Structure 1
Amino acid sequence: MANRDRVHWSRREAVRRALPVLGLAAWASTALGGSARAAQQSWSEFLDQIAVEAQRLGISPYVTKSALAGAERLEQVIELDRRQPEGRLTFAEYARRVIDRNRIRRGQELLESRHDLLEAVRFRYGIPNQVITALWGVESSYGRNMGNWSVISTLATLAHDGRRSEFFRGELMAALRILDAGDIVLDGFKGSWAGAMGQCQFMPSTYLRHAVDWDGDGRRDIWTSEADVFASMSNFLATSGWRPGERWGRPVQAPASLETGQRGTVTEFGQAGVRAEDGGPLPNSDIPAVFLRMDGEEGPAFLTYHNFQVFKIWNRSDYFALSVGMISDQLKAS
């Protein structure tokens, strides 16, 4: 157990930790003259510039050359980037797709079958088992849907596009570092259309900061090792400020006069006419809360707490954070 309670410090790990992950932001602000210049470059010129910057950051030229040799500009990725769900779906539509009966049932089965491993990770990081399971389910359908896009091609495409080029150039450099460290081989370096990787769908920079080698095999393997997946997700939430023993929030019934973004304690919201989802009274509590109503005046309402904001550090979408919270509540109740 002692070996599992720490990140494995292999020689590769020591090299990784010595590399300045956050230095990517400084690089991104000057490389290629920013977004405008990136958009004007040809694809081949862009890849040549990436290779130069990667070498400047200490990434193996062989690794970079091999990775970029097969990189393609993927127009479908650009289209997907412009069709985010919060711009085209109501929350109710999104929730029907994500909070489905099969996902809940499978999560309940996995909570039971992975209980010992989840408990060991919870003891180390303090994140409830149902929260980790809910995140796992939403991000990759419990490891069954990790994406089959080339991480290098998707990130290079988005970095070249110009809309968010600086962010994705930094992620591309982080991806090259992961290959350079040997945690994954190029042929298996697959992910979502936006470059999110593995069963927990970490972006490459998130991986470099938070991925954990829980099983002690010398690799931080978020693709095939559930132990590393659970520990990496838990490490992310713990270092992002998760408060053990505090819920993420709750669905509520609320007067139409309340507006999204109003703040107060749970007790104060109760005094303002907010009720629990079943119509009962809210508990007397001085926990700070933020009121959130989705889909207009008649839409579902929520009180959200600190841990809801931690979910949003993971993914800035209210849709995502609410869905994870609601699934975790259903798993806890099972």
Structure 2
Amino acid sequence: MLAATPLSACADAPAMSARPGARAADPDLVPRATAGWSAWVASFKGRARSAGIRADVIDAAFRGAGFVPGVVARDRNQTEFRRSFEDYLNIVAPESKVEAGRAAFARQRRALAAIEARYGVPAEIVCAIWGVESNYGQRRGDIPTISAISTLAYDGRRGAFFESQLIAALRILQAGDVAPDRMVGSWAGAMGHTQFIPTSYLQSAVDFDGDGRRDIWGEDPTDALASAASYLAGAGWQRGATWAVEDPSGGLTPDAGGPSFRTGPNFRVIKRYNNSDSYALGVGHLADRIAGGGPLRASFGPDRFGMTKDQRQELQRRLTATGFDTDGTDGVIGPKSRAAIAAFQRSRGLPATGDPSLRLLAMF
């Protein structure tokens, strides 16, 4: 992994891999060979050969590949908006994910124990990363990695970075760890159960099950889980040290008025996987819950709209019951909830701000 780069490609968000079937549902995620992309690829192939990639590997990798317009749209539409820690935690560590994590941990208990014995990273931390990155393997992504990364390299916003990832992806193919048609992942090129970008894969991926391939893409998550532990161990994980503990006098308070934490040395190691305080806290808290721990002791206060989580959930329930579907009642006011609020506001002749409020709740 490059020192300044998160292992998974989107540092401030939970795993954003495409859901199964996303390409079929969204034509903008289907690769297409445009003139500009094809010209760029023709030029890139010479640079790839100079970097030691065999011509047959390059040809196989780009056979059927193309420009993916939806990838560019997602890259350009990343905003500066940052979720509150409460919202982030509601997304990455809700009760449903805790329960699923305990079940996944039980299924992989033997492999996780062996991985912990070798690398010193607690099994629950590895399992939590798996949960945050791909929902325990359910959201590994299905966008062809060569198409996604070459699109971003050609687009040019971070051209040098993505060209280095493209070279790394070709090295993975050249090593025979995966076939080109199985190398799929998120729109930003993060792959497999634990969402490795190609350079991080080359640095830290391991063949833990001994089948001769470092397979992070298949149904068996063993190599991916071991690779995540390998990465954290290489980043300086300290056996027996803490990641963080909830402490009213702790030095880290992500949300004003919310829980505070006293962080330990392994907190910084988790941030090497994804350079975000919320990410490290989310992984650590989910790991504690998977291991049998309880919810955070401190409560979160009202949000910037003056609403608590219970009030936001009640607003979502009432909107959905009235025909304005919020696509869930998790208390997170995301795009679907904002669209439902705006539609309700228009139906009442109000300015369509999409903002929740206690006044809006009282209208039902």
Which TM-score applies when normalising by structure 1? 0.73
> Conserved in 2, the CA contact under 8 Å of 1:85 and 1:94?
no
* Aligned residue number for residue 328 of structure 1: 287
Separation (CA, whole Å) in 2 of partners of 1:184 and 1:157: 21
Superposed displacement of residue 73, structure 1: 2.1
| Partner Cα distance (2:276, 2:161) in 1 | 17
Contact 1:248–1:306 (8 Å) recurs in 2: yes
1:218 alignment counterpart: 212
1:241 to 226, 236, 243: 236
The alpha carbon displacement at 1:157 in A equals: 1.3
Which whole-Å CA distance do the structure 1 matches of 2:197 and 2:167 have between them?
11
State the shift of 1:85 in Å: 7.5
- 2:25 corresponds to 1:66: no
- In the aligned structure 1, how far is the partner of 2:78 from the partner of 2:292? 31
Aligned to 1:151: 145
Query: 8 Å contact 1:149–1:193 — kept in the other structure?
Result: yes
1:84: how far off?
Answer: 4.4
Distance 1:323 1:119, change over 3 A: same
Q: One-letter code of the match for 1:328? A: A
1:2-35 CA distances to partner (integer Å, 9 max, x unpaired)? xxxxxxxxxxxxxxxxxxx98xxxxxxxxxxxxx
Instruction: Point out where structure 2 has 5 or more consecutive residues left out of the alignment.
Output: 3-34, 294-364
Partner deviation per Cα, 1:121-144 (whole Å, 9 max, x = no partner)? 111111101101101111111111
Give the secondary-structure state (helix, strand or coil) at the position aligned to 1:292.
coil
Partner of 1:303: 262
Query: For 1:303, what is the secondary structure of its paired residue?
Result: strand
TM-score by length of 2: 0.67
Measure the CA separation in 2 of the matches of 1:71 and 1:113: 36
Letter in 2 for 1:169: E
Identify the structure with the greater helix proportion: 1
The CA RMSD measured in Å over matched residues stands at: 2.1
1:88 CA displacement: 4.3
Q: Secondary structure at the match of 2:231?
A: helix
Following TM superposition, by how much is the alpha carbon of 1:318 offset from its aligned partner in structure 2, in angstroms?
2.1
Fraction of identical pairs, as percent: 42
- Distance in 1, matches of 2:243 and 2:100, equals 22
Q: Indicate if the aligned counterparts of 1:136 and 1:142 stay in contact, CA closer than 8 A.
A: yes
Q: How many residues align?
A: 261
SS in 2 for 1:54: helix
Structure with a larger share of its residues in strand: 1
**Structure 2 residue identity aligned to 1:247:** T
C-alpha deviation, 1:320, in angstroms: 1.5
**Of residues 241, 244, 253 in structure 2, which corresponds to 1:293?**
253
CA distances 1:279-321 after superposition (whole Å, capped 9, x unpaired): xxxxxxxxxxxx22224x3344322222111111111122211
Secondary structure of the structure 2 residue equivalent to 1:333: coil
Select 2:193's aligned residue among 199, 203, 210: 199
* Structure 1 residue ranges (4+ consecutive) displaced by more than 6 angstroms after TM superposition: none
Q: What is the distance in 1 between the residues matched to 2:260 and 2:77?
A: 25
Report the Cα distance in structure 1 between the residues aligned to 2:197 and 2:140, rounded to whole angstroms. 12
Task: Report matched runs for 1:172-211 at 5 Å.
Answer: 172-211=166-205
Task: Give the alignment of 1:1-334 within 5 angstroms.
Answer: 42-84=36-78, 87-224=81-218, 225-253=220-248, 274=249, 291-295=251-255, 297-333=256-292
